Amino acid sequence: MIRILFVCHGNICRSPMAESVFSFLLKERKIDDISCASAAAHSDEIGNTPHYGTREKLKKEGIPLVPHRARLMTKADGEDFDLLIGMDEYNVRDMKRIVGEKNAHKVHLLLEYAGSNRPIADPWYTGDFDETFEDVMTGCKALLNALRNEDL
């Protein structure tokens, strides 16, 4: 089983969107040897449900929201997950600090799998959940394709 953790700043916008999109893609393709979850790099939103913009965008796209409450990423996540996927360079920096040098090699940007090192814009600030969704979908599809073509 390959385990993936999606991470953003507060775990209420981008990472739960990625978790829901990736879970949807796994179910759609009948893949049961990969799983995912999401977490926050900071404690600002711990315990909160996903942002209404994330909930509404997923609903509009016909993608079920994975039941979720924001949680903080831990050092143990570096051991428990095979890939740690951040949404922007700040997430990546924080994630590497949290998991330490031993597991820093597991940390990647989501759009890296789509051939870009561009961050996924935070809709908390931009208000543009459509753009964020498109980037998340592109990254999740590319990540899944990469996982199906290579072993970790």
Q: Is 122 noted as a catalytic residue in this protein?
A: yes
Catalytic annotation, pick one of 77, 88, 94, 122: 122
Q: Is 71 noted as a catalytic residue in this protein?
A: no
Q: Is 88 noted as a catalytic residue in this protein?
A: no
Return d(Cα 31, Cα 101) in angstroms, integer. Answer: 31
Buried b / exposed e across 9-37, counting CB within 10 Å, b at 16+?
Answer: bbbbbbbbbbbbbbbbbbeeeeeeebbbb
Catalytic annotation, pick one of 8, 13, 36, 140: 8
CA 81 to each of CA 34, 38, 53: distance values in angstroms, whole numbers, following the listed order: 11, 11, 28
Q: Which of 102, 105, 113, 128 is nearest to 17 (CA)?
A: 128
Return d(Cα 5, Cα 15) in angstroms, integer. Answer: 9
Q: Angle, to 10 degrees, between the axis of helix 52-61 and the axis of helix 129-149?
A: 60
The helix/strand/coil state of 85 is strand
Catalytic annotation, pick one of 13, 14, 94, 140: 14
The residues that are catalytic are 8, 14, 122
